[in-house]
Structure 1
Amino acid sequence: MERKLFTALQGENAEALNDSLSKQGFRRSQNVLYRPTCSDCAACMSARIRVADFNPTKSQRRTLNKNGNLTRSSTSPWASEAQYALFREYLETRHADGGMADMDVFEFAAMIEETPIRTRVIEYHATDPDTGERELVATCLTDILDDGLSMVYSFYKPELARDSIGTYVILDHIDIAREAGLPFVYLGYWVPGSKKMGYKARFSALEVYNNDQWDELSDPLDYAAERHPLENEPVAAQVAKINLPDMQSTPRTAPPDPKTEY
Structure 2
Amino acid sequence: MLAETFPTILPSLSHDAQLEVISLYQLAGEKIESGHPPFRHPHHSASSVSLIGGGTHPKPGEVSLAHRGVLFLDEMAEFAKKTLDMLRQPLETGKVTISRISSTVTYPADFILLGAMNPCPCGYLGSRTRYCTCSPKQIQAYRNRVSGPIYDRMDVLLSLEVIDFTKETRVSESSETIRKRVEEARRKQYERYGKEITNGRVPFELLMEKSPLAKMQQLLLQQWASQHQWSNRVQTKIIRLARTISDLKGTEEIADESLWEAMTLRWMKTYTKQQATAR
Richer in strand (by share): 1
TM-score by length of 1: 0.31
Compare CA radii of gyration and give the structure with the larger one. Answer: 2
Richer in helix (by share): 2
TM-score by length of 2: 0.30
